[in-house]
Amino acid sequence: MRLAEGYSLADLQQACTALAASQAPVVLEGLHLARLGRFLALRVSGDETALGRLAAACVRDLDGLRAPAPQTELEKRRAAGLTPAQEANLVTWGYPYVLEQFRFHLTLTGKLPKAELPAVEAALEAHLMPLLPRPLAISDIALVGEDSDGSFHLIHRYALSGTAVE
């Protein structure tokens, strides 16, 4: 997100500190390899309700510091063919895939040729999956920045120290 006029990185860091203090760590069953079209990604195994609550809190609690998305970005998102719920999220939150539309995934590949997909999937399954922790604990959130060349870098990690919601 881009910061709204009048807000600084220090303001965002303070908001992240408060957010992390209000959220409990999340424990997931683990991750599994999944096909998303012709991409491969890691997806949550089992119940992802607690992760969805954490993601929603990030969106809601930090939104006041967010600058509106430029029109060109909104048009690009709309070109993908959004559902009415996704369009409402885009208008309200600046991104279509938040709250109920959020589906956690960690993209591992670009779009693969159909003929290569099974071999890449098998290699990742054999070599990557045994390395992933089960259960998987998410104990912090990270504030990440994007450089002018498009590279991302860690600004700060914030320990989740709130109380679990039942």
Model pLDDT for residues 80-127, shown as the tens digit of each residue:
899 999 999 999 999 999 999 999 999 999 999 999 999 999 999 999
Per DSSP, the residues of 101-143 read G----EE-SSPPPTTTHHHHHHHHHHHTGGGS-SSEEE-EEEE
- Cβ neighbours of residue 125 closer than 8 Å, sequence gap 6 or more: 33
pLDDT tens digit sequence for 70-80: 999 999 999 98
pLDDT greater than 80 at residue 25: yes
pLDDT greater than 80 at residue 17: yes
pLDDT greater than 70 at residue 131: yes
pTM of the model: 0.88
Report the alpha-carbon distance of residue 130 to residue 12 in Å, rounded: 37
